[in-house]
Amino acid sequence: MSAPRMPIESGVPDPFPYMHPVLKKNFGAWSYHDRPRPGVLRHVAKSGDQVWTVRAGTQRQMDVYTIRKLCDIADEFAEGHVRFTMRSNIEFMVSEESKVAPLIEKLTAEGFPVGGTGPSVTMISHTQGWLHCDIPGTDASGVVKALMDELHDEFIKEEMPNRVHITTSCCQINCGGQGDIAINIQHTKPPKINHDLVANACERPTVVARCPVAAIRPAMVNGKPTLEVDEKKCICCGACFPPCPPMQINDPEHSKLAIWVGGKHSNARSKPMFHKLVAAGIPNNPPRWPEASEIVKNILAVYKEDAKDWERMGDWVERIGWPQFFEKTGLPFTKYHIDNWRGGRVNLNASAHIRF
Ligand code: SF4
Ligand code: SF4
């Protein structure tokens, strides 16, 4: 009998062949860890072994020359092993303390800031942006680079009340996630439909089913089957654009940035929280997004000044209250801040049924 056909495992690779020998030897047997300085973690194993991890920031989207340079630094100044954190910081592991200072010196000299640990503003996590996704209304890695250039000082120091996780997202569907501060695209006008292309490019029932407020209907225009949008119902979410590119929603003028505050995934000290809208209608202004950057820096400065130690952004806002948040940051409070979609479960189209 022939051997059964086995599935091809294409998930996360086995990390052990790539792991630093001290990490491999002491896997699951660590005693404690501390942070001797910003950007450096020291892990002490029950066996008495120690390992120092040096964390550095990069420009985020890296070319092959930069990756080679980082690998050369790992070979020459570390012990040939690197790993990336989930926020895309690069980490070098060394088993002797004497190797830490030369490694930091080399990284700094080559333009890779060492930091991002503890109560700092660590690297911003972002969605794919212009480079990899087919629907973005702005770049995401570009916003990260522009903002981290401005926040460099907060990356290399640990002077925030608690860690600050910032996220950016390049469409309103937001494949990013919750952040202490999130910078997300916000469309402000319904999609513009190219009726000549809809029938050829879109599976119309899928597009109709996709709309969260049931604003899309089949239609005939110039004798061709197409779709139409009830603009009074449309909430400009952009969900119809990915399955139907002729329903273009990205617009240089009307696709704006919105800033959200107080989200977190972790359940340390307080429960996970959704971020809330605090600023909308901000120009989507590449390559450096100065207007969004000013608002983020202002929120960070007020949080740094006003929050107690260990309060995450959302904990701080819960303690002082949203009216105080708007007062202290000077951000205008408008009618757009009131609806927090608590009724969304019953109001929005949460079923997979197709309506005509
Ligand atoms: S946020 Fe939207 S546009 Fe950006 S990568 Fe995710 S799905 Fe694509
Ligand atoms: S999916 Fe979103 S953008 Fe498209 S019609 Fe519905 S509400 Fe408007």
Q: How do residues 100-121 score in pLDDT, each as one tens digit?
A: 999 999 999 999 999 999 999 9
Atom 7 in ligand 1: residue holding the nearest Cα: 175
**Percentage of the chain with pLDDT > 90?**
71
Q: Which residues contact 141 (CB under 8 A, 6 or more apart)?
A: 60, 61, 126, 129, 131
- Band of pLDDT at residue 36, cut at 50, 70 and 90: very high
- Band of pLDDT at residue 343, cut at 50, 70 and 90: low
Atom from ligand 2 closest to the CA of residue 191: 3
Q: How do residues 79-97 score in pLDDT, each as one tens digit?
A: 999 999 988 899 999 999 9
Return the closest-CA partner of residue 61 out of 134, 121, 148, 3: 148
Q: How do residues 223-278 score in pLDDT, each as one tens digit?
A: 999 999 999 999 899 999 999 999 999 999 999 999 999 999 888 888 999 889 99
pTM: 0.88
Q: How far is the CA of 136 from the centre of ligand 1 (A)?
A: 5
Atom 8 in ligand 1: residue holding the nearest Cα: 133
The reported pLDDT for the residue numbered 356 is 46
Atom from ligand 1 closest to the CA of residue 175: 6
Q: How far is the CA of 139 from the centre of ligand 1 (A)?
A: 9
Atom 2 in ligand 2: residue holding the nearest Cα: 237
Secondary structure of the chain in HEC code, one letter for each residue: CCCCCCCCCCCCCCCHHHCCHHHHHCCCCEEEEEEEECCEEEEEECCCCEEEEEEECCCCCCCHHHHHHHHHHHHHHCCCCEEECCCCCEEEEECCHHHHHHHHHHHHHCCCCECCCCCCECCCEECCHHHHCCCCCCCCHHHHHHHHHHCHHHHHCCCCCCCECEEEECCCCCCCCCCCEEEEEEECCCCEECHHHHHHHCCHHHHHHHCCCCCEEEEEECCEEEEEECCCCCCCCCCCCCCCCCEECCCCCCEEEEEEECCECCCCCCCCECCEEEEEEECCCCCCCHHHHHHHHHHHHHHHHHCCCCCCHHHHHHHHCHHHHHHHHCCCCCHHHCCCCCCHHHHCCCCCCCCC
Ligand nearest to the CA of 230: 2
Q: How do residues 206-222 score in pLDDT, each as one tens digit?
A: 999 989 888 999 999 99
Q: At what angle do helices 141-150 and 290-306 cross, to 10 degrees?
A: 50
Residues in the ligand 1 pocket, defined by CB under 6 Å: 127-128, 133, 135-136, 140, 169-171, 173-176
Atom from ligand 1 closest to the CA of residue 174: 1
Ligand nearest to the CA of 190: 2
The reported pLDDT for the residue numbered 325 is 96
Ligand nearest to the CA of 348: 2
Q: How far is the CA of 205 from the centre of ligand 2 (A)?
A: 14
Q: At what angle do helices 313-320 and 322-329 cross, to 10 degrees?
A: 110
Q: How far is the CA of 138 from the centre of ligand 1 (A)?
A: 9
Q: How far is the CA of 195 from the centre of ligand 1 (A)?
A: 25
Residues in the ligand 2 pocket, defined by CB under 6 Å: 190-191, 210-213, 215-216, 229, 234-240, 249
Q: How far is the CA of 125 from the centre of ligand 2 (A)?
A: 27
The reported pLDDT for the residue numbered 158 is 97
Atom from ligand 1 closest to the CA of residue 140: 4
Q: How far is the CA of 112 from the centre of ligand 2 (A)?
A: 42
Ligand nearest to the CA of 239: 2
Q: How far is the CA of 215 from the centre of ligand 2 (A)?
A: 6
Q: How far is the CA of 191 from the centre of ligand 1 (A)?
A: 17
